Amino acid sequence: MQINKDQTDIMTAFFSELEKIGKKDKNVIFLTADHGAWALSKFKKNLKKQYMNFGISEQNMVSVAAGMALSKKKVFIFTITPFITQRCLEQIKIDICFPNLPVTIVGNGSSLTYAYHGTSHQAIEDVAMMRSLPNLKIINPADNETSKLAVNLAYKSNQPVYIKLDKGFFKDLNYSKRNLTKGIVGSSKKDICIISTGSMVHEVNAIIEYLQNKNISTSSIYIYLIKPFNKKKITNLIKGSKAIVTLEEQHIDGGIGSQICETIAEYNMNIPVKRYGIKDFYSKKYGDRNWLRKVYNLDTEYLKKNIFNWVKKLKGKNGFRIKK
């Protein structure tokens, strides 16, 4: 869950790290199509010659970034997620992914961050779309440290990177950098394994506590690097699980739930999977992020009870002992 405390928000942490790298390497160039992002102000002030604002001209920005990358610049491009992914999909495909250029695409406002702004600003289809593009890495930070790590991984990458960046204040996950660089962290030495990504990682502990109070042993895995997907590591982690639950605040088709099901099928693993995410409809209701999660059945209270009821149905087949 998002928290309010005196700490740096996830986006400021991201840009502070990028500014540090930019001060050391003058080939780091930052392009944006977002006039109102206050997190950019420090970067703009301190690195004026490495900063350009394209206004509402996202497709042009992508093509310019490709040209700069061909001139040996390390380019980061940034704006609100649907505009940098959906509006620019053709340019990303042809100008960046096809020639395999090291341009980093940063989507501002992951998933339901901009809940009040409606469907135009809600980024629920981006992972499904971007997963289909060859050569492209996809990173989904969930706290300040993972957002900083995303900057460094993108800076060192010699291929295109898409960073699905959230907005606001999040509790530190305290994962080690060494484990995060492998793309997947956590364990699955329990009956139920909950696999999540992005902001939904912060809902997992409450669900685990609820299930364990019902005598259901539960563990968790955080997918940090969505693509390339570390199939070998995930299969080793989940092979002892009796059932798997996936949580994501994005379209359920083409997201991490799909990745898990694809991998289980490919490796002939017999493990039931329950996927939670945004299903095949657009909400025409408006409210804040937590309220909209209720509309999409992604709020913690719904998840706790629905997952428990699903596990109860598996009881006879999988040998769970559940407290009523």
More confident residue, 244 or 186: 244
- Residue 189 inside a domain? The answer is yes
For the whole prediction, is pTM greater than 0.85? Answer: yes
Q: How far is CA 191 from the centre of its chain?
A: 26
Tokens 């206004």 correspond to what residue? 55
Q: At 172, which amino acid appears?
A: D
Closest CA to 112 of 164, 59, 175, 38: 164
Range of the domain at 152: 10-165
Query: Contact, 123 vs 107, CB < 8 A?
Result: yes
- Boundary of a domain, candidates 104, 131, 165: 165
Q: How is 178-242 classified by DSSP, letter by letter?
A: HHHTTSEEE---SSEEEEE-GGGGGGHHHHHHHHHTTT--EEEEEE-EEES--HHHHHHHHTT-S
- Residue 124 inside a domain? The answer is yes
- DSSP bridge pairs for 76: 30, 104
Residue 242 and residue 129 in one domain: no
**Structural domains of the chain, count:** 2
What is the rounded distance in angstroms from the CA atom of residue 222 to the CA atom of residue 213? 22
Residue 89: pLDDT band with limits 50, 70, 90: very high
Query: Contact, 73 vs 29, CB < 8 A?
Result: yes
What is the rounded distance in angstroms from the CA atom of residue 47 to the CA atom of residue 63? 22
Is the per-residue pLDDT at 115 higher than 90?
Answer: no
- Boundary of a domain, candidates 165, 200, 233: 165
Residue pLDDT, tens place only, 170-218: 888 877 665 666 788 887 778 899 999 999 999 999 999 999 999 999 9
Residue 159 and residue 188 in one domain: no
- Residue 285 inside a domain? The answer is yes
pLDDT at residue number 119: 78
Laid out side by side, the sheet with 184-186 consists of 184-186, 218-223, 192-196, 243-251, 273-278
